Amino acid sequence: MTFDIKRPDASLKEPLQNRIDNLTKPKGSLGMLEELALRIGLIQGTLSPELRNPHNILFAADHGIIADGVSVSPKEVTWQQLGHFAKGGAGINFLCNQHGFKLVLVDAGVDYDIPAGHGIIDMKVRRSTRNFHYGPAMTADEMELCLQRGAEVVGDVHASGCNVVSFGEMGSGNTSPSSMWMHLFTGIPLADCIGAGAGLDNDGIRHKYEVLKESLDNYRGDGSVTDIMAWFGGYELVMAVGGMLRAAELGMLIIVDGFIMTNCILAASKLYPEVLDYAVFGHQGDESGHKLVLQALGAHPILHLSLRLGEGSGAVCAYPILQSAVKMINDMDTFADVAVTKYF
């Protein structure tokens, strides 16, 4: 699948910056709000940006590597939590309700037959990836299908009037494929890419490293971006990549969540670097390695709240800051509008 992602029109940068600089405030005094307003205006190609009908798309899948003891969460937690999200009452539910997001739930590859009628979109590729310790987690065809299905979900929400989207995930053990992508796409030492996940202790982290290092030693692929994505990825992760690329193609604002979704947009950027022009980074989480991958991307996260839940929670938490940035550029007077002497 190919995407036609165009960079935002840079000719609008100067008029946007001029408007921001001439609002009734000292130049630069609203800090990151000014940076965000500029980025959103460039993405939307307007001096008066707006945020409409936000969605948080949550992809869920299981991972073969969990059989090697890399997570404290048993595999069944994936389908149990997905059902919990569908009923309401989980972390991402209260945040979406608070901030006006519609939550979209997608079964990308959960190792359980989820019955119909629960509001979960069935895009299951397979019941769990294979164990990448011993071979590729998915086939090239499965990876392609994930890209297509992730793009399809984003196309549907865009058709409903959504122009701002965040992505979340649920999948026991999915920090392991994320760590592999991080290492292979950035060159950061593997040990620095591995953290506690859902709560490993020091011995658990050491074991996780040994398993992932052996998996890396066993890799027999061609080293291409797509081969790395397929060999070490997860169905939910590749669907998120497809969703991010489609969102950028449609000119949508992408709010990037934590460690796992940051590695998804890292992978997306290795295919289409232009995708980063459409992204803002919601937060810096507490998962070991998140700060490093953000630095590798040159990203400046909005929040640092010591979050490590996933699900899109940090992205949704950051949304009010984006709303403030848009309100600033639209609702504040300029010095030319009112009788205030420009004082800088």
* ∠ Cα 7 244 176 (to 5°): 130
CA distance 320 to 19: 21
Specify the DSSP element, H or E, that contains 321: helix 313-331
Q: Which long-range contacts (CB under 8 A, 24 or more apart) does 321-325 make?
A: 321/32, 321/33, 321/36, 322/36, 322/40, 322/51, 322/164, 322/253, 322/255, 322/280, 323/51, 324/33, 325/32, 325/33, 325/34, 325/36, 325/37, 325/40
User: Is-catalytic flag, 214?
Assistant: no
The single residue of 169, 236, 249, 311 carrying the catalytic annotation is 311
Distance CA 84, CA 165 (A): 22
In angstroms, the first-to-last Cα distance of the chain is: 51
Helix 235-249 with 175-186: angle, nearest 10 deg = 60
Other CB atoms within 10 Å distance of the CB of residue 299: 17
User: Active-site residues: which are they?
Assistant: 311
